[in-house]
Structure 1
Amino acid sequence: MMASLVAAVTVLALCCLALLGCCIWLFRRQRQQAELQARENAARDERIKVLAARLDTYLKGSVRMGKELHELSRVVSPLPDKFSKLEQRDPNNFVFSQAAKLVGMGASVDDLTQSCGLSQSEAELMRKLHQVRRKPD
């Protein structure tokens, strides 16, 4: 009976040692995980700072571009009226601008002479001018 009691106490002591070893292993493992998580959090926070700075730069650029577009719109908006006034002042200018539009749409020299009333040489000149402008594009 005494031997079985000693054996039971020995088994219980071994179980306690095994449990203590397991607890120590789990504690170290938890500390490693916490350190790893802290490093990952620091890296994430740094990435967030970088992205926030980039976003701020993009937003400032967008605001600046919006202001410039607004200013450009303000400058450009009266141009159609000015163009109309210029066309009304010089009827020949209207003929040439109309011919330029037609050449842009692929009109031939004969088309220009018939629809715009240009001479053959004027129509050829318009065609050549438009072709010169088209080539660099």
Structure 2
Amino acid sequence: MESQWIFNLLLVLQFVLLLALAVWAFRLSRKLKKFERSVHDAGLAQKKQVQVLASGSIGMGRRLVAIEKRLNMAVERQSELISKEGSSVSYNRAMELLEMGASVDDLVSKCGLIRAEAELISLLKKESRRNSNQSH
């Protein structure tokens, strides 16, 4: 009978141990699910941050492209202005040389004008002399 009692005691102990193990496994399972949810939420938050950064980068890229276009246009305008200033200086210099009796070849070599420009300036100067002589 004593062996029966020990056997029953061992059986109860096994049952209690099995019940404790089941409770521990259940709690561990709940902690694991909670951890999975927090990892999932962190992943979603990171995705949102990446999307915000990507859209910000795209917007910044578009702004940079627009600024680059404006800068290129400004550089082109500046080059045009410099070129116009340079040519007007050349034309003024050519007029001065013509008044001093320079030839078309002199205008080409000294003012950097092409031959057609030098001939045109020379003709204009002659025409303005004729007009001024006729009005007197």
TM-score (normalizing by structure 2): 0.56
Report deviation, 1:20: 0.2
Looking at both structures, which has the greater relative contact order when contacts are Cα pairs under 8 Å and sequence separation is at least 6? 2
Report deviation, 1:9: 1.5
- Counting aligned pairs with the same residue, the percent is 16
Aligned length: 91
Report deviation, 1:39: 2.0
Name 1:18's counterpart in structure 2. Answer: 20
Task: State the alpha-carbon separation in 2 of the partners of residues 77 and 23 from structure 1.
Answer: 79
- Secondary structure class of the residue paired with 2:72: helix
TM-score (normalizing by structure 1): 0.56
Q: Which digits, 9 at most, give the CA deviation of each residue in 1:76-134, with x for residues without a partner?
A: 1233344445556779xxxxxxxxxxxxxxxxxxxxxxxxxxxxxxxxxxxxxxxxxxx
Name 1:70's counterpart in structure 2. Answer: 72
Q: Which runs of 5+ in 2 are unaligned?
A: 94-136
Question: Any residues of structure 2 matched to 1:67-106 within 5 Å, and which?
Answer: 67-85=69-87
Report deviation, 1:64: 0.8
Report deviation, 1:21: 0.4
Once superposed, what is the RMSD of the aligned Cα atoms?
Answer: 2.2
Q: Which digits, 9 at most, give the CA deviation of each residue in 1:51-88, with x for residues without a partner?
A: 22211110110111111111111111233344445556
Name 2:60's counterpart in structure 1. Answer: 58
- Secondary structure class of the residue paired with 2:32: helix
